[in-house]
Amino acid sequence: MTAFDLPGLRHHLSAVALVTGYQDYQNPGHKKYASAYSLWHTFLLEKVVLPNPEVYGGLNEMKTAKTASMILSGLLFFLLASPAHAQHLDWRRVTADAKAARQTGNNTGAVTLYKQALQIQEKTFGPKSREVATSLHNLAVLYQDESKDAEAEPLYRRSIAIWGEYPGTDKLIAASLSNLAALCHDEQSDEEAEQLFNRSLAIWKKMGQLESLGAAATLASLGDIYNSEGKYTQAEPLYNHALAIWEKTSQLENPDAVTTLTRLADIHRSQSEYDQAEPLYKRALATWDRTGHSESPEAIATISSLGDIYRSQGKYAEAEPLLRKVLANKEKTLGPDHLDVATSANDLALLYNCEEKYADAEHLYKKAIQIREKKSGCRTPRCGADPGNLRCVASPGRAQSRCQRNGNGASKDPTE
């Protein structure tokens, strides 16, 4: 790269921007299994700057501020005299406006602006330039956030193909591959999603960055695929690897890290490995408490899972306040007649059954039945709580055996 190789500088900064961007990784478009990562920082850094000594290696030998000032003045004159300068400013301005629109939630406006930027970039740099690839990626992110997967998919594929023609774009390709894999997973194309995630991981490994934050997000996402397929022995080491990276980089309060904690705990709970599941749930809850999300749906679901573990272990005193909190929260946030309220009422009723609080259990079982009947219009016991639970209330001697049969870590849904 020469001292005034501006496209080279811009491309170098684009790559650096992606690495730096992972430091602020917050999953703005978080979906169930993975999220899209946008290269916004690329555009923020593409402006006239004093050449960095680490890039050029020359300015650190300058002896006076006057000399450096002369270099900068000459650089600015060179840019302002360039015929394409106005067009450069136009696409930078449009992409900055697109970023601002997305940050305010105006995705429709951001899409329009990115399309305008693409037209300018294709005319200025050509349809297969790195600038075009970056805008294609960012436009795909917007579509993916809006669940417009059909529009996002070809843009990701095109950006990957363009970046593949340039050296030094491995990080960009890895990011786009992970986003495309998440999209495929959301479309139930898990076979292709698995292949894409593995391609992304292979790139991180080739670059010697398998311990980076970008790799951590990909590891966790691939773990999600195996988890959803019931391949727990394959998912567990991927989750552990991702968590180790987040812990080493002080990123355990990252939303993805907390979600991964709970999913790893779910695997252990499903296999009745309660001693391993419990501390993971507690770590997740502690993080939500510190970050002010203790009443979020994710936190409430984790409280329910922890309460279920305590019930299965016979720790009824520990389980009861947790399950009561879950029921109260769902009644408050969802309304008293929501189907999720019926599920939580049934879970607490089962605990009361185990504690031999039969009157309390019967009240909640009937509540679950009434909600189910109201929602479905059905008037048979099969619409509400498990009729076996009501039989336990009618015959208290059966209660403890019923608790033991349900003590496998899985909540008993009213419809089962």
**Residuewise pLDDT in 10s, the chain (416 residues):** 444 344 443 343 333 333 333 333 333 333 433 444 445 433 332 322 222 222 223 323 333 333 333 333 333 333 334 444 455 568 889 889 988 998 888 989 999 999 999 999 999 999 999 999 999 999 999 999 999 999 999 999 999 999 999 999 999 999 999 999 999 999 999 999 999 999 999 999 999 999 999 999 999 999 999 999 999 999 999 999 999 999 999 999 999 999 999 999 999 999 999 999 999 999 999 999 999 999 999 999 999 999 999 999 999 999 999 999 999 999 999 999 999 999 999 999 999 999 999 999 999 999 999 999 987 765 555 554 454 455 444 444 455 555 654 544 444 443 34
How many domains does the chain divide into? 1
Residue 300 placed within a domain: no
8 Å CB contact between 159 and 133: yes
In angstroms, the first-to-last Cα distance of the chain is 67
Residue 2 placed within a domain: yes
**Residue for token pair 């605990």:** 351
Between CA 283 and CA 288 the distance in angstroms is: 9
Between CA 229 and CA 232 the distance in angstroms is: 8
Note down the domain range covering 97: 1-47+83-209
Between CA 139 and CA 124 the distance in angstroms is: 19
Residue 34 placed within a domain: yes
Question: Distances in Å between the alpha carbon of 81 and those of 45, 47, 62, 70, 131?
Answer: 21, 16, 26, 17, 21
pTM over 0.85: no
Residue 68 placed within a domain: no
What is the number of residues in the chain?
A: 416
Residue 112 placed within a domain: yes
Report the sign of the C-alpha dihedral through residues 283, 353, 407, 317, in that order.
positive
Residue 95 placed within a domain: yes
Residue 347 placed within a domain: no
Residue 105 placed within a domain: yes
Between CA 277 and CA 268 the distance in angstroms is: 5
Q: Which residues of 159-171 are buried (b: 16+ CB within 10 A; e: fewer)?
A: bbebbeeeeebbb
* CATH code of 96's domain: 1.25.40.10
8 Å CB contact between 197 and 221: yes
Between CA 266 and CA 260 the distance in angstroms is: 10
